[in-house]
A = this chain, B = another copy of it.
Amino acid sequence: MELTEKTVSSELIFDGKVVHLYRDVVELPDGGTSVREIVKHLGAVCVVPVTDDGEIILERQYRYAVGQVLTEIPAGKLDYAGEDFASAALRELREETGAVPRELIDLGDFYGSPAIMGERIRMFLARGLSFTERHLDEDEFLDVFRMPLSDAVRAVMNGEIPDGKTQCAILRAAKMLGI
């Protein structure tokens, strides 16, 4: 079955700091047309940092869009289009937690809201951590803390970690490590 939609026209509605909103008219597989409101985004990374003691480093951060403090793994946007995902992951991990890993394992891609958002998040597992000072962006306010990976899996299963990328990356990291 042919599923692809083709762009008929594309209108830039808002070109913001983070959000780039387009209203496109598309041709549907049956030849009809429809409107797609989509948000373009540079892309992002997230990292499950596992210490030699089997703990992971987590952050509590207020998320204005959902009006809640969420527990998340370290994450951040790419600095520019086409930036190497692994470099961005190392930078964000170091800035937010001070951690520098000996090993960075690619866990694959995560599309958080593919009906609307073009944002692709590359997930990583980081091991063999040593620590330097952290350097937060000036409008970032984070509480950093640690938790055994096995407890984090339980917290995900109990619904205590609603952030999608964090649930997904923790479950994948734990399964990969046999925890």
Contacts and interface: CB of A to CB of B under 8 A. Distances in A.
A54 interface: no
Interface residues of A, number: 71
A97 to B, nearest CB: 15
Interface of A: 1, 3-5, 13-14, 16-19, 21, 23-24, 26, 28-30, 32, 34-39, 41, 60-67, 69-70, 72, 107-121, 138-139, 141-143, 153, 156-159, 162-165, 167-168, 171-172, 175-176
Copies in the complex: 2
Given A3-B69, A5-B64, A109-B162, 20 more contacts: A13-B13, A13-B14, A14-B37, A17-B37, A19-B116, A30-B141, A38-B65, A65-B116, A65-B117, A66-B111, A70-B114, A108-B159, A109-B159, A110-B162, A111-B163, A113-B119, A114-B163, A164-B168, A167-B168, A171-B171
23 contacts: A3-B62, A3-B69, A4-B62, A17-B35, A17-B37, A18-B37, A18-B115, A21-B21, A24-B64, A39-B39, A63-B115, A65-B115, A67-B118, A108-B158, A110-B167, A111-B164, A112-B112, A112-B113, A112-B117, A113-B119, A153-B175, A164-B165, A167-B168
